[in-house]
A and B are shown apart, each in its own frame.
Chain A
């Protein structure tokens, strides 16, 4: 099967001499839900800008399905839907006008454009807002409008640059469900995000860019399996003023009293959870509930990028 996106030796020098991409290679398979992670300024948005033709590349090859962006840019663009990081629509137009115009730019006749625009706006929960000025929409609605606009040409590859930045939990959850749904129906999705639990929950594969270079490119499962430690959050049945001395000094275990009703403990995966409960029973500490710390990927991300930075110093 043709890859949805193939990038070879992609480089970008900005006019100020900054090298934003230092020859990255990347392949995203058709149907994948792919996360592109990195700190601010790592090169994620530059890569996305080049794929979507908002930024000129300095060197390299970019193919979207069977179309090379240098040889058949129009066809490559017709495969893509893009949701940028920042608002980029005219606030004086209505959501319906914005989505219909976007359809028109893809050559979709007006009648069909109207049907598709209505459907996309309905799917994103903007049916009752489609005739109001976009200026009056909330931040979450504006984000959803940009997703609706990106979907109107029925793209095979949807690229989302931090689509849930600055939106409330409800909108984020709704967006996750929506994106999972369209991915299951066959749309390849590339996502950049700073919410690493978002990438962990949604994406099957993950690449990490650091300082213009790809430092990791693997499946989410493999990446998470690199974690040697498991961290649990324990809610206590009774308040605890301080951790017993022996816990604080236990080898291979890191105990932390978050507050008097919550304890966090990190243990090597090899030791397992029985050890934790054994220690707790020993100290007569009753646990009401327990959960895995969700941002495991965050921990790993920091390990990978910090390790690289330390090597460079």
Chain B
């Protein structure tokens, strides 16, 4: 395929993915806004004032970046894993397999769709947070780059999950038992400086901690982790997952007998 044909193929997969999640917006776009609104009300408005300030900011201001990123992570991951699994289940993935479109384009198309949904959710949740808190942006570039990179990273994660999934349960196990605990323990609701030394060290194993702190820096200018390390780690994971997913696609893992 020529570069132009590859571009057409990529645009087709992206359009198909966006159309898919827009068609079921009640399931894909609306729930994260409701869920985070409840977090804002309960943790920000009701419990927050009793907690007081965190790193020099109101508790509501402190938790907003983490809650936005949590929605981005879960949405981008779920979008790709469920879309890919559905395509395998309905065998519509064969439409792509029989066509000359390169595996890298298939991967980027699915991941791009997930990242678009993740960023869209991020914007919607950010706008919702304006009803509960005065939003300040310390560094627009950091904020936008972290949200795009995080959405991309977890879209790659979702793709990997979709490749391995053999039944519907398999696309819910990782989000429920791995992603959610890591996100909650990644410093959404607290600064890791509050933890004892041992648990601070343990927290550093959690990759989501680096993303949440980098994203919080974009809003508030505070972080428990050095920014460069956060970017390096996110990019490293993206490259590793890209290579791994591409390798699986090339061998036909889970999609070719």
Interface locus among A106-114, A218-226, A270-278: A106-114
Give the distance to chain A from B23, nearest Cβ to Cβ, in Å. Answer: 7
Residue B94 lies at the interface, judged by CB distance under 8 Å to chain A: yes
CB neighbours of A153 from chain B (8 A): 99
Which chain A residues numbered 57 to 99 have a C-beta less than 8 Å away from chain B? 73-75, 77-78, 80, 82, 84, 86-92, 97-98
Q: Are A102 and B257 in contact (CB under 8 A)?
A: no
Residue A104 lies at the interface, judged by CB distance under 8 Å to chain B: yes
| B100-133 contact mask (Cβ, 8 Å, vs A): 1 or 0 | 1110000000000000000000000000000000
CB neighbours of A91 from chain B (8 A): 90
Residue B50 lies at the interface, judged by CB distance under 8 Å to chain A: no
Which chain A residues numbered 155 to 175 have a C-beta less than 8 Å away from chain B? none
Give the distance to chain A from B46, nearest Cβ to Cβ, in Å. Answer: 40
Out of A55, A102, A108, name the residue touching B95 (CB < 8 Å): A102
| B75-111 contact mask (Cβ, 8 Å, vs A): 1 or 0 | 0000000000011001110111111111000000000
Interface locus among B4-12, B25-33, B147-155, B222-230: B4-12
Residue B252 lies at the interface, judged by CB distance under 8 Å to chain A: yes
Residue B2 lies at the interface, judged by CB distance under 8 Å to chain A: yes
Residue A195 lies at the interface, judged by CB distance under 8 Å to chain B: no
CB neighbours of A53 from chain B (8 A): 97-98, 256
CB neighbours of A77 from chain B (8 A): 98-100
| A43-56 contact mask (Cβ, 8 Å, vs B): 1 or 0 | 00000010011111
Q: Are B94 and A56 in contact (CB under 8 A)?
A: no
Q: Are B90 and A104 in contact (CB under 8 A)?
A: no
Residue B247 lies at the interface, judged by CB distance under 8 Å to chain A: no
CB neighbours of B1 from chain A (8 A): 74, 78, 107
| CB within 8 Å for A88 and B95 given contacts A74-B1, A107-B6 | yes
Give the distance to chain B from A282, nearest Cβ to Cβ, in Å. Answer: 61
Q: Are B16 and A84 in contact (CB under 8 A)?
A: no
Q: Are B257 and A107 in contact (CB under 8 A)?
A: no
Give the distance to chain A from B10, nearest Cβ to Cβ, in Å. Answer: 9
Residue A178 lies at the interface, judged by CB distance under 8 Å to chain B: no
Out of B13, B15, B90, B102, name the residue touching A88 (CB < 8 Å): B90
CB neighbours of A52 from chain B (8 A): 97-98
Residue A6 lies at the interface, judged by CB distance under 8 Å to chain B: no
| CB within 8 Å for A88 and B94 given contacts A77-B99, A107-B4 | yes
CB neighbours of B102 from chain A (8 A): 74
Q: Are B8 and A107 in contact (CB under 8 A)?
A: yes
Give the distance to chain A from B17, nearest Cβ to Cβ, in Å. Answer: 11
In the assembled complex, the Cα of A102 lies from the Cα of B100 at a distance in Å of 11
CB neighbours of A109 from chain B (8 A): 8
CB neighbours of A86 from chain B (8 A): 91
Give the distance to chain A from B14, nearest Cβ to Cβ, in Å. Answer: 10
In the assembled complex, the Cα of A182 lies from the Cα of B9 at a distance in Å of 27
CB neighbours of B6 from chain A (8 A): 107
Q: Are B94 and A104 in contact (CB under 8 A)?
A: no
**A52, A54, A73, A110 interface centre (most CB from chain B within 10 Å):** A54
Residue A30 lies at the interface, judged by CB distance under 8 Å to chain B: no
Closest B residue to A78 by CB, please name it. Answer: B100
Give the distance to chain B from A155, nearest Cβ to Cβ, in Å. Answer: 10
CB neighbours of A97 from chain B (8 A): 16, 19
Q: Are B8 and A104 in contact (CB under 8 A)?
A: yes
In the assembled complex, the Cα of A82 lies from the Cα of B90 at a distance in Å of 17
Give the distance to chain B from A167, nearest Cβ to Cβ, in Å. Answer: 19
Q: Are B256 and A101 in contact (CB under 8 A)?
A: no
Closest A residue to B105 by CB, please name it. Answer: A105
| A1-32 contact mask (Cβ, 8 Å, vs B): 1 or 0 | 00000000000001100000000000000000
In the assembled complex, the Cα of A14 lies from the Cα of B12 at a distance in Å of 33
CB neighbours of B97 from chain A (8 A): 52-54
Give the distance to chain A from B131, nearest Cβ to Cβ, in Å. Answer: 34
CB neighbours of B86 from chain A (8 A): 90
CB neighbours of A80 from chain B (8 A): 98
CB neighbours of A87 from chain B (8 A): 91
3 residue pairs, one from A and one from B, having the closest CB atoms: A107-B5, A104-B12, A105-B99
> Would you list 21 pairs from A and B whose C-beta atoms are within 8 A, ordered by A residue?
A15-B257, A53-B97, A53-B256, A54-B94, A54-B257, A73-B100, A74-B100, A75-B100, A77-B98, A77-B99, A90-B87, A92-B23, A102-B95, A104-B13, A105-B95, A105-B96, A106-B5, A106-B9, A107-B5, A110-B8, A153-B99
